[in-house]
Amino acid sequence: MNRRGKKYEEAKKRVDRNKRYDLEAGIQILKETARAKFDESVDMAIRLGVNPKHSDQMVRGTVALPHGVGKEVRVLVFAKGEKEKEARDAGADFVGADDLLEKITGGWTDFDKAIATPDMMGTVGKLGKILGPRGLMPNPKVGTVTFDVGRAVKELKAGRVEFKVEKTGIVHTTVGKASFAPQQLKENVLALMEVIIRAKPASSKGTYLKSVAISTTMGPGIKLDPNDLRVVAKA
């Protein structure tokens, strides 16, 4: 039987498991219960009323968080010629073509996000078995297959995150760090919720936002009121 640490159990006592908190109250409790010795990530779990088995109910997209996620994002770009220079000028950490193909084929994946120009996808496609399972494969649906590599690099560096509903109907994503000010966390959460609400599939019936929880890496989940989030996000 798994046992939680003393700090977790103490933090858990401060959370009413039967209550759905408004966003400001939830963030206040989250800040109070963040007691790890490192700067914990702040994560969200959003259960949606969709069936991802149906292609017309797949919810995925990107959102530019106003305050980023609190970590340096290492961006790799597959590009040649002028687009290679554009990527470097925008701040990409790794830029190349066949040289990167060879390096990644050899087992190197020391980066967080990958971008490719459309003309490079024939080459990048060979890396599908390596990049796909790690969530690193460039995808036109989330803006990482594009000729506008400069903009894409800058957005990823600034804190743009991708989200995709899982088979269980839940979206898991990071919205910042425990060290962020309450207002910064609030603005990041609302930016995410606004995009997810807009992404509701037309074929989704019934309640769309079924449940929402926020937590730090080592802390207990704090249930948020979906109705409150819906109203505040639209305000």
Average of per-residue pLDDT across 154-162: 88
In the chain, CATH 3.30.190.20 covers: 14-69+160-234
pLDDT for residue 89: 97
* SS3 assignment for the chain: CCCCCHHHHHHHCCCCCCCCECHHHHHHHHHHHCCCCCCCEEEEEEEECCCCCCHHHCCEEEEECCCCCCCCCCEEEECCCHHHHHHHHHCCCEEECHHHHHHHHCCCCCCCEEEECHHHHHHHHHHHHHHCCCCCCCCHHHCCECCCHHHHHHHHHHCEEEEECCCCCEEEEEEEECCCCHHHHHHHHHHHHHHHHHCCCCCCCCCCEEEEEEEECCCCCEEECHHHHHHHHHC
pTM of the shown model: 0.79
- Report whether pLDDT(2) > 60: no
Residues 6+ apart with CB under 8 A from 198: none
In the chain, CATH 3.40.50.790 covers: 75-157
Two tokens, residue 44 = 């969200």
pLDDT for residue 130: 95
Average of per-residue pLDDT across 12-20: 85
Residue 126, Cα to own-chain centre: how many angstroms?
A: 25
* Residue percentage of the chain with pLDDT more than 70: 97
The CATH number of 75-157 is 3.40.50.790
The CATH number of 14-69+160-234 is 3.30.190.20
Q: How confident is the model at residue 1 (pLDDT cuts 50, 70, 90)?
A: very low
pLDDT for residue 205: 87
Q: How does the average pLDDT of the chain come out, rounded?
A: 91
Q: How far apart are CA 178 and CA 33, in angstroms?
A: 10
- Report whether pLDDT(11) > 80: no
- Report whether pLDDT(136) > 80: yes
Average of per-residue pLDDT across 150-162: 90
Q: How far apart are CA 65 and CA 7, in angstroms?
A: 30
Average of per-residue pLDDT across 206-224: 94
- Report whether pLDDT(6) > 80: no
